[in-house]
Chain A
Amino acid sequence: MIEKALSGSSLYKGWMLFLLAIMGVGGICYLQQWNYGLGITGMSRDVSWGLYISQFTFLVGVAAGGLMLVLPYYIHHYKDFGRITILGEFMAIAAVAMCLMFILADLGQPMRALNVMLHPTPNSMLFWDMIVLNGYLFLNLICGWGVLHAEYKGVKYANWLKPLIYLSIPWAVSIHTVTAFLYCGLPGRHFWLTAILAPRFLASAFAAGPALLMIVALIMKKTTKFDIGDVAKNKLVTIIGYASLINFFFIGMEFFVAYYSNIPGHKHTLDYLFWGLEGHNNLVPWMRASVLFGLIGIPLLFIGRAKKSDLGIGLACAFLFLCMWIDKGLGLVLGGFVPSPLEYVTEYVPSAVELGITAAVWATGFFILTLLYKIAIEVKLESEA
């Protein structure tokens, strides 16, 4: 099956070369970080997590978003998702791979990463996150590959895959719940200390994951013979739309609790993110853009569907994906450190090396994604032909 990834159009090859080039540049950047230490990034004593961990957090959501394609098909026997379920599973593989790379990039002593397994510590949420992320990676690898390979051979997938597929559904919820627990169980970080953090993570995940999938699907419709079909597309719009609305509802609740209770600690970070605090306002334009993108994206999504406009739907998904990326991939993690526990405002700006490594991890993710999707759609097209 793997041979299908080795040949392709010049567009395919060009795209893969482009990604490899970014990975190469990022590799050089990582070498610099390896030699100097994490001081080469923009992180500091006060903002001790930066772009790496915030990207990791966001991508856990993209991975969990695959659930929205697997669940309707396998639990509700929603046949119209038959062609895209595999895309959801493969997207999860690429996203979890990026998560693991971002964590490794963030470690001060990456060679000691296995200490997490050598000295298992169940009271640490990071220990559990390691378990659920790796578990989810293997579940999707086994299920996705197994089901596709059966289709390749023209037979029904093995029965033993069934329990693993069912297991992968609650497992998807667990990865983002445990990732939220990394943050919401810490005393003294008011912005994160909210019981709604895991639900919020899940809502944004169920919007961002399928939104990315929709964009990729629309691109594939243009560049390949693979079309996910109007029924599946319209159902995806419903899923993305509702998940985005719920996400916004949850954010609104955070605002209400902070500003109506009027407790300073609860307001500080929101102040910093949306209005600026003590003259520091690096993230203000981003956060406002995030809200704006959401406000544009949601109506555009439904209008696009009503007008049967792929361009409209694609644009809307891009807006929503960016909206969630800023909200969770920037604001949530970086904002949690401002103000510091001693109420200082220290701002964080990623360094060039850090941006290079981040870009390379994303490129690696898209490399894996393209590879897997190439195999998947060729097998699909062949078996349907």
Chain B
Amino acid sequence: MNNKRREFLKIAGLSALAGLGAPAAVNMLVRGPGMAHASSGHGASSEHGGGHGEEKPAGVQHGIVIDVRKFAEDKELARKCIDACHSIHNVPDYGNKKDEIKWIWTEGYEHAFTEHSHYKRNAALHEMPIITMCNHCANPPCVRACPTKATFKSKENGAILMDFHRCIGCRFCMAACPYGARSFNWRSPREKDANGNFKYIKQVNSEFPTRMRGVVEKCNLCAERLAVGLLPACVEACGDTKAMVFGDLNDPNSEISTVLNENFTIQRKPALGTQPSLFYII
């Protein structure tokens, strides 16, 4: 083969390869595989706090409206929610802040809503316990950051889930989450005492896996309970108080849509464009 032909074939082959690969790569980059079903996001920010030209929501996006007033009325309620969640999900309690793992917890108003002004707020507001957990964002920065798709957005209901078996423990998602919703297993939660009992999990729920050390975990919106037709544990713990209303944000006839329509609600850090699926009635 003469040199010219060889050169030509080389260039032709390379350009064909580049031509084949480029559009797919560009597509992946622009939309991202994790983002491919971003269309299941809700149109929340066009209704709640601005944003322009949002994609029309489609599919199911589960969310929760949290009525903070109800939690202020019943001081025990938040504790019930937290205990229900943490016991069902085998969340360990190490009794120190450094190793702490939490899926749902309460914050003071100034910590939950850092971007709001706290100047001259009424004292009662500062005493209100604000239930805090993963926001199951329609546009989740953690999913964008994860290098292995170990954290991903559920196609069924828009919840942000974790694959504990794929997570490499790089903690990029923890840096990416603007809500501090993610915890890391700094040590093994399966550690046992001399009698063979778990040291840090009071009563193991055999229906849900315990984790191994070195992986990230967080609220999963009770994916395992939703799958069998139950409500998320925290919502169920609230009973008939309506302190928490759960449902599909994209269904205009759902209870949660009605509640959102009838009340003034706020989201945490809406300016970041994450489109949280948690709404608060203060």
Tell me, rounded to whole Å, the shortest Cβ–Cβ distance linking B121 to chain A: 15
Q: What CA separation (Å) do A122 and B145 show in the bound complex?
A: 10
Q: Are A122 and B29 in contact (CB under 8 A)?
A: yes
Say yes or no for A49: interface residue by CB 8 A criterion.
yes
Task: Select which of B99, B144, B215 is within 8 A of A109 by beta carbon.
Answer: B215
Q: What CA separation (Å) do A38 and B269 show in the bound complex?
A: 30
Q: Are B168 and A121 in contact (CB under 8 A)?
A: no
Q: What CA separation (Å) do A87 and B51 show in the bound complex?
A: 52
B32 neighbours in A (Cβ, 8 Å):
121-123
Q: Are B144 and A123 in contact (CB under 8 A)?
A: yes
State how many residues of chain B have any CB contact under 8 Å with chain A: 55
Task: Select which of A49, A110, A115 is within 8 A of B175 by beta carbon.
Answer: A49
B183 nearest in chain A by CB position: A45
A183 neighbours in B (Cβ, 8 Å):
175
| CB contact under 8 A between A182 and B148, given known A37-B187, A187-B272 | no
Say yes or no for A170: interface residue by CB 8 A criterion.
no
Say yes or no for A200: interface residue by CB 8 A criterion.
no
Say yes or no for A124: interface residue by CB 8 A criterion.
yes
Q: What CA separation (Å) do A188 and B139 show in the bound complex?
A: 14
Say yes or no for B167: interface residue by CB 8 A criterion.
yes
Task: Select which of B98, B168, B175 is within 8 A of A186 by beta carbon.
Answer: B175
Say yes or no for B97: interface residue by CB 8 A criterion.
yes
Interface residues on A, range: 35 or more
A113 neighbours in B (Cβ, 8 Å):
168
Q: Are A341 and B147 in contact (CB under 8 A)?
A: no
B179 neighbours in A (Cβ, 8 Å):
188, 341-342
B214 neighbours in A (Cβ, 8 Å):
37-38, 107-109
Tell me, rounded to whole Å, the shortest Cβ–Cβ distance linking A11 to chain B: 40
Query: Which residues 131-147 of B have a CB within 8 angstroms of A?
Result: 141, 143-147
Q: Mark B74-94, 1 if CB is under 8 A from A, else 0.
A: 000000000000000000000
Q: Are A46 and B180 in contact (CB under 8 A)?
A: yes
Q: Are B168 and A108 in contact (CB under 8 A)?
A: yes
Tell me, rounded to whole Å, the shortest Cβ–Cβ distance linking B230 to chain A: 29
Select the stretch in B12-20, B108-116, B240-248, B257-265 that faces chain A: B108-116
Task: Select which of A38, A126, A187 is within 8 A of B274 by beta carbon.
Answer: A187
Task: Select which of B28, B184, B187 is within 8 A of A48 by beta carbon.
Answer: B184
Tell me, rounded to whole Å, the shortest Cβ–Cβ distance linking A296 to chain B: 33
| CB contact under 8 A between A116 and B114, given known A108-B215, A186-B176 | no
Say yes or no for B33: interface residue by CB 8 A criterion.
yes
Q: Mark B208-230, 1 if CB is under 8 A from A, else 0.
A: 00001111100000000000000
A103 neighbours in B (Cβ, 8 Å):
170
Q: What CA separation (Å) do A352 and B169 show in the bound complex?
A: 21
Which applies to chain B's interface (DSSP): helix, strand, loop or mixed?
A: loop
B186 neighbours in A (Cβ, 8 Å):
37-39, 43-44
Q: Are A188 and B98 in contact (CB under 8 A)?
A: no
Say yes or no for B178: interface residue by CB 8 A criterion.
yes
Say yes or no for B49: interface residue by CB 8 A criterion.
no
B149 neighbours in A (Cβ, 8 Å):
119, 121
Task: Select which of A38, A107, A110, A123 is within 8 A of B33 by beta carbon.
Answer: A123
B150 neighbours in A (Cβ, 8 Å):
115
Say yes or no for B34: interface residue by CB 8 A criterion.
yes
A121 neighbours in B (Cβ, 8 Å):
32-34, 146-149
Q: Are A108 and B213 in contact (CB under 8 A)?
A: yes
Q: Are A107 and B170 in contact (CB under 8 A)?
A: yes
Say yes or no for A233: interface residue by CB 8 A criterion.
no
Task: Select which of A122, A187, A336, A337 is within 8 A of B25 by beta carbon.
Answer: A122
B50 neighbours in A (Cβ, 8 Å):
none
Q: Are B112 and A108 in contact (CB under 8 A)?
A: no
Tell me, rounded to whole Å, the shortest Cβ–Cβ distance linking B250 to chain A: 23
Q: What CA separation (Å) do A118 and B150 show in the bound complex?
A: 12
Q: Are A343 and B111 in contact (CB under 8 A)?
A: yes
Say yes or no for A189: interface residue by CB 8 A criterion.
yes
Q: Are A45 and B97 in contact (CB under 8 A)?
A: yes
A115 neighbours in B (Cβ, 8 Å):
147-148, 150, 166, 168
A182 nearest in chain B by CB position: B172
Q: What CA separation (Å) do A130 and B272 show in the bound complex?
A: 27
Q: Are A186 and B147 in contact (CB under 8 A)?
A: no
Tell me, rounded to whole Å, the shortest Cβ–Cβ distance linking A121 to chain B: 5
Q: What CA separation (Å) do A103 and B28 show in the bound complex?
A: 25
Q: What CA separation (Å) do A118 and B149 show in the bound complex?
A: 10
A118 neighbours in B (Cβ, 8 Å):
148
| CB contact under 8 A between A116 and B185, given known A109-B215, A130-B147 | no
Q: Are B98 and A39 in contact (CB under 8 A)?
A: yes
Say yes or no for B236: interface residue by CB 8 A criterion.
no
Q: Are A124 and B146 in contact (CB under 8 A)?
A: yes
Q: Are A108 and B167 in contact (CB under 8 A)?
A: yes
Say yes or no for A271: interface residue by CB 8 A criterion.
no
Q: What CA separation (Å) do A125 and B167 show in the bound complex?
A: 16
Q: Are A341 and B178 in contact (CB under 8 A)?
A: yes
Q: What CA separation (Å) do A164 and B122 show in the bound complex?
A: 66
A194 neighbours in B (Cβ, 8 Å):
none
Tell me, rounded to whole Å, the shortest Cβ–Cβ distance linking A254 to chain B: 19
Q: What CA separation (Å) do A38 and B168 show in the bound complex?
A: 12
Q: What CA separation (Å) do A129 and B176 show in the bound complex?
A: 16
Beyond A48-B174, A122-B32, A127-B147, 12 additional contacts (C-beta under 8 Å) are: A37-B188, A108-B214, A116-B168, A121-B34, A121-B149, A186-B141, A187-B273, A187-B274, A188-B177, A188-B179, A341-B178, A342-B112
Which B residues are closer than 8 A to A by beta carbons? Answer: 25, 28-29, 32-35, 97-101, 107, 110-112, 114, 141, 143-150, 166-172, 174-180, 183-188, 212-216, 269, 272-274
Q: Can you pick out 17 interface pairs between chain A and chain B where the beta carbons lie within 8 Å of each other?
A: A37-B187, A37-B213, A37-B214, A38-B184, A39-B98, A39-B99, A45-B101, A45-B174, A48-B175, A108-B171, A109-B167, A110-B168, A116-B148, A116-B168, A123-B144, A337-B175, A342-B179
